[in-house]
Structure 1
């Protein structure tokens, strides 16, 4: 065989051919337009290093960040009917569910887990915005209730990381029923005298913000998170007034008493741990003080 055709030419073609680059290799900061290397962004907990802008964080990565050593145990959640109303818009609801389940590898939008946070047992739930916008349906409602019941059973605090566009329209009234059901779960935590801490991430809107997302003992928001019920445009058209530029932002809600604190993602774990220690009246170990050195007696 001709070595020019079999060896030289393929090497030249591979050298000159355009290499395919991963789509998410570089990510643009929405605030400053800065291009950030994906690996650097992930290492910084999806916070843009220079601007401090908090990008949306994958739900499973948030659990890894929250629990000690990224080690946690998933809590099994009840199964529900897949398509109780046989709903169809541009496609069948069951087909839409299959698409998102394939994409995320999960059955629905809420994950519940147990583990240790700074050495103390804790139960946490995360809403995954990548699964149909973190919408609240029957499966999500059951998962949140399962997390609250697990916290009561094991006498642990319950921490909920919220990210949702609201109720899931494909389930109609059955979706809206999850609002009072989860409210009953919150009352169950209070009767057990267990802390319920809500972390509001971007975005937290719709029926979720009108129910369990605003019923915590302490409300923590991530910087820049959009939090509200109706959208900005809907409100402006209703009241026929121009809203402030920072309306519905975490900082705006903090200034008007709607959230208790705005905390950077890097500080969330330590902040939640301190709050839980106070709310559960755990003894705090103080560092041992060195014995004072006696001064030599002077004549």
Structure 2
């Protein structure tokens, strides 16, 4: 209940466990990891010696990708006038996570510190477990930069604590500024099967709507179409107005505090209520 402003999670969308390789072994032995450089140099470390069956995993990341992620985070913080937090577990993964920490510090000092100070913004690094505790106690209103897996998990935690996974908007940002807007929650399969049978559902479409509104606004900015930007903004306003009027899907009704009148409606009724308000705003 102490979260009063949005929390933006910046998730590094490359590498780590998502591009790892793994395998299983059935006998005692030793696993070693070797890097062979283009120059012919080799670096080898012993991962572990085991006395029986075991599983193994090798993960990687690239300095170039980490640096691009850091720049995107700092620039987004400047553009949106928000503080930036960054967290890893460099006390355990001293080299791997330590590289993330080092690159973020280099980028901040060399490129963004002056602008942050000019705007009164704060950048700080902390361990992931400390960051979680800080987030829970905070009022929101900042960007929380995370490695790939941390960001995957923490987005679900934050969105659910705000009320519903279906309320989480998501945008993928490429180094060249290209953006892709999506509903990060994926597909609600059992609701879809009910829909195919002709049954009514009360699926929350907010994240999907905001994926479209975000994409339309961005397209309008790129093409110099203020009318398209205006449409996207009014669509979002219509969504907020509908919720504030107490019209919402079942996933939200159960979270409403006493004293606020809320009515659970079907997906179709919810969309129709938004469409009606949007028509009034565009009239």
TM-score, normalising length: structure 2: 0.29
Structure label with greater radius of gyration = 1
Higher-strand-fraction structure: 2
Higher-helix-fraction structure: 2
TM-score, normalising length: structure 1: 0.28
